[in-house]
Structure 1
Amino acid sequence: MPAWNSRGLRGQTLEELINLTNQKYMENKLALIQKIPTPIKPMRIDSQTRQITLAFFEQRSTVDYIGAVQGIPVCFDAKECTQDTFPLQNIHEHQIGFMQQFEEQGGISFLLIYYSCKDIFYYLTYKDLMKFWKRAKNGGRKSFCYNELDARYQLSTYNGVCVHYLEGIQRDLEER
């Protein structure tokens, strides 16, 4: 298996596309969104190269991105899906809790999902995420299928913006 196809780099392309999108949004003064690094605690550092050779996660991460879109607080997580079915185990309870608290404070939470099998970017609203999450918690399916999603939230590429999630936010705001 080539190194670029390893589990550790899964989602790297999606993250790069979102970062390019965020850069474009910032340049056009549409949004200011930051990638949130996962805090790590180095345990072993190579004395010659000064590289970290062993580390562990210091604390649980919340979401991948946080910021503001024209004064509206926004947080989201980015997920890549290689099949038509998205397993909810890819989202952690503490992430759901953070997104819920963010929503309660007047912010907008969502998932950006890249369906690599279809080459489609999708904006999953917090409301729909919670519908699937509660279904699973109540003994139902522990995943959701692509065909269960609202097609209006499929994202386009527009004017040099790779993952144009502002259109998802706009629709989300209109339907609240």
Structure 2
Amino acid sequence: MATWNSRGLRGSILEDMINRTNEKYLMEELALIQKIPTPITPINIDKETRHITLAYFDQKSTVDYIGAVQGVPVCFDAKECAVDTFTLQNIHPHQVAFMENFEKQDGVAFFLIYYKSRDELYYLPFRDLKRFWDRAQAGGRKSFRIDELDEEYFIKHKADGLVPYLEALQKDLESRE
């Protein structure tokens, strides 16, 4: 069973950038995106600071974020990657199933991947993730390389730390028409 403190703060840099971006999108009335907290059961609580020091995840989480952009339902997950190869072990079968079902309901599902060593962000449409996922399920590579990605979906993050992912979402929507 996975414990909360064993996972550290993975993804916190990217999530901080996305959270600030989502606040800006809300203020500008462009989108309403909510961070979905992962339900946990606290095991140890520091009595002095009242901080949880050990906890177990109650259930499998689906995605990190869900909401609507100009009437379009969206869900996405944020991932960080230290190297140029993204291992599919970072994505779980229940997440793929949720995103696939979300898209069947006319929603848009995607991943935002932050390649830390390059300081580059990538918008991975669910259809592309599904292609890599199916390849792995068929016995192929259990990862994908950065050079396999569509150049059009790289996101230039702003100096203020924002992640302007709505531009990539627009490209994704246009490619579906």
- Cα separation, 2, equivalents of 1:65 and 1:88: 19
Question: Among the aligned pairs, what percent are the same residue?
Answer: 62
Count the aligned residue pairs.
171
Partner in structure 2 of residue 123 of structure 1: 123
What letter matches 2:65 in structure 1? Y
Partner in structure 2 of residue 105 of structure 1: 105
Match status 1:135 vs 2:135: yes
1:48/1:16 Cα in 2 relative to 1: closer, same or farther (>3 Å)?
closer
| Higher mean C-alpha displacement, 136-145 vs 40-49 | 40-49
SS in 1 for 2:23: helix
1:43-54 equivalence runs, <5 A: 43-54=43-54
Deviation per CA, 1:134-167, whole angstroms, max 9, x where unpaired? 0000000000000000000011235957111101
SS in 1 for 2:8: helix
SS in 2 for 1:132: helix
Partner in structure 1 of residue 170 of structure 2: 170
- Cα separation, 1, equivalents of 2:110 and 2:69: 13
Q: Check the 8 A contact 1:77/1:110 in 2, yes or no.
A: yes
Partner in structure 2 of residue 27 of structure 1: 27
Query: What TM-score do you get using the length of structure 2 for normalisation?
Result: 0.91
Deviation per CA, 1:38-61, whole angstroms, max 9, x where unpaired? 001123434454433332111110
- Cα separation, 1, equivalents of 2:82 and 2:39: 27
RMSD of aligned Cα (Å): 1.7
What letter matches 2:28 in structure 1? N
What letter matches 2:172 in structure 1? D
1:49/1:93 Cα in 2 relative to 1: closer, same or farther (>3 Å)?
same
What letter matches 2:70 in structure 1? Q
Partner in structure 2 of residue 67 of structure 1: 67
Q: Check the 8 A contact 2:121/2:157 in 1, yes or no.
A: no
- Cα separation, 2, equivalents of 1:65 and 1:95: 12
Q: Check the 8 A contact 1:24/1:161 in 2, yes or no.
A: no
The unaligned stretches of length 5 or more in structure 2 are 1-5
- Cα separation, 2, equivalents of 1:96 and 1:134: 11
Partner in structure 2 of residue 37 of structure 1: 37
- Cα separation, 1, equivalents of 2:46 and 2:16: 28
